[in-house]
């Protein structure tokens, strides 16, 4: 069902701005989402991601800026005339209609004849595996099933872009993981552009082609999941996704002096001048506690806390006064519990220089 790549992006935002009572919620957003892309807007609550979604859907008028859908300017087009559909956080199902009536609602508005409509609704119910619940009222469905009805009701219209507003937030953890995989598979199958809003980093990383991290109304960083995780560019991006060992210090002779007597070399970094303050980060799982190699940057420290997480063990290592590193170690099959480190142990930690990431 995949269509040839549309040259025009599905969604383009140009200088999109929204002010609420004097506060700027979305601040000059520029964004292009390619056709067929699974794109996530990730950020804490209040970062402006839902407001952005509502402006694209047409429920909220931008203060300034332009919204293009499929290359057409829709900034002043009312929601019912936009080629965009939404999966709402509350699902917003029509309780007076059965599953079939809900799913067929959009096409009936478009005046599709009864036979074609029935055919399309049946296909869509097959896709979301709800064929046997077609005659049920939404009130009799489970949370996961309601979610699928909401998805089918939006997808059946084959919009240029499907907007999803934290659609999995109301589901329990197990169901959420199952739905993540399913949602991704469905998106691949129908080839429709998904714009997915979430505050859940796992969701964003595991499902998306690209992720934009949003904070205070601006996009902090935008890129493939590996990029935003492995190479965060800002302190906020590094801190928001995963656990980060944030350090900062003065730039001097190719090193960042993060504490007295502790300088971390950053080979290849040329953007800072002598004396600048530079922030950097290392992901906890990139730091080694044993099997250190000569290429690694090494530093000695003391274990101050340990916590066991099943698959991993997390250590907090003090490497200087007021400076600790969080280290995540896999609990490998050959390891016994007495192999693990304990609080108070002196250890040497190290990581490869390329895992030191400089932040703006």
Residue 56 or 205: which CB sits closer to another protein? 56
Residue 58 or 350: which CB sits closer to another protein? 58
CA–CA distance, 226 with 151 (Å, rounded to integer): 27
Residue 54 or 215: which CB sits closer to another protein? 54
Cα angle 84-89-92, degrees, rounded to a multiple of 5: 75
Tokens of 29: 């957003």
Q: How far is the CB of 88 from another protein (least distance, A)?
A: 4
Q: Does 344 participate in binding another protein (rule CB under 8 A)?
A: no
Q: Does 139 participate in binding another protein (rule CB under 8 A)?
A: yes
CB-based burial of residue 81 (10 Å sphere; 0-12 exposed, 13-18 middle, 19+ buried)? exposed
In the chain, what is the greatest distance between 2 CA atoms, to the nearest angstrom?
78
Residue 105 or 341: which CB sits closer to another protein? 105
Restricted to residues 232-261, the positions that interact with another protein (CB under 8 A) are none
Instruction: Return the range that interacts with another protein (CB under 8 A); candidates 94-102, 120-128, 174-182, 216-224.
Output: 94-102
The H or E element that residue 25 is part of is strand 23-33
Compute how many residues bind another protein; rule: CB under 8 A. 29
Q: How far is the CB of 30 from another protein (least distance, A)?
A: 25
- Of 102, 109, 104, residue with least CA distance to 79: 109
Q: Does 92 participate in binding another protein (rule CB under 8 A)?
A: yes
Per-residue contact flags (x/-) with another protein for residues 147 to 166, judged by CB under 8 A: ------xx--x---------
CA–CA distance, 357 with 360 (Å, rounded to integer): 10
Tokens of 344: 């108070």
Residue 68 or 154: which CB sits closer to another protein? 154
Q: Does 90 participate in binding another protein (rule CB under 8 A)?
A: yes
What SS3 class is residue 89?
coil
Number of Cβ within a 10 Å radius of residue 260: 9
In the complex, which residues of this chain contact another protein (CB under 8 A)? Answer: 57-59, 78-80, 84-86, 88-97, 105-106, 109-110, 137, 139-140, 153-154, 157
């Amino acid at each position: 069902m995949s269509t040839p790549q549309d040259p025009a992006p599905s969604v383009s935002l140009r200088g999109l701005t929204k002010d609420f009572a004097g506060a700027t919620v979305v601040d000059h957003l520029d964004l292009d989402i390619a056709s067929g892309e699974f794109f996530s807007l990730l950020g804490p609550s209040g970062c402006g991601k839902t407001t952005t979604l509502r402006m694209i859907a047409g429920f909220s008028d931008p203060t300034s800026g332009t919204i293009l859908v499929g290359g057409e300017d829709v900034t002043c087009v009312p929601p019912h005339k936009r080629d965009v559909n939404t999966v709402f956080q509350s699902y917003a199902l029509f309780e007076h209609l059965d599953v079939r009536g809900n799913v067929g609602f959009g096409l009936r508005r478009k005046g599709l004849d009864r036979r074609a409509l029935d055919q399309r609704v049946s296909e869509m119910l097959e896709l979301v595996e709800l064929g046997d619940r077609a005659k049920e009222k939404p009130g009799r469905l489970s949370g996961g099933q309601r979610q699928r009805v909401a998805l089918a009701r939006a997808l059946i219209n084959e919009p240029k872009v499907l907007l999803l507003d934290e659609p999995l937030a109301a589901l329990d953890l197990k169901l959420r993981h199952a739905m993540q995989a399913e949602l991704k598979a469905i998106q691949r199958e129908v080839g429709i552009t998904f714009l997915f809003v979430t505050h859940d980093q796992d969701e964003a990383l595991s499902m998306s082609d690209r992720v934009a991290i949003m904070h205070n109304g601006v996009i902090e960083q935008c890129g493939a999941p590996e990029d935003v995780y492995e190479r965060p560019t800002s302190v906020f991006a590094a801190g928001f996704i995963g656990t980060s060992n944030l350090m900062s210090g003065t730039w001097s002779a190719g090193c960042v002096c993060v504490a007295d007597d502790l300088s971390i070399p950053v080979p290849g970094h040329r953007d800072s001048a002598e004396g600048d303050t530079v922030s950097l980060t290392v992901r906890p799982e990139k730091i080694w506690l044993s099997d250190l190699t000569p290429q690694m940057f090494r530093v000695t420290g003391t274990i101050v806390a340990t916590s066991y997480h099943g698959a991993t063990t997390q250590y907090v290592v003090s490497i200087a006064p007021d400076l600790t590193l969080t280290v995540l170690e896999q609990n490998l099959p050959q390891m016994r519990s007495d192999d693990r480190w304990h609080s108070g142990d002196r250890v040497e930690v190290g990581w490869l220089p390329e895992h030191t990431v400089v932040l703006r």
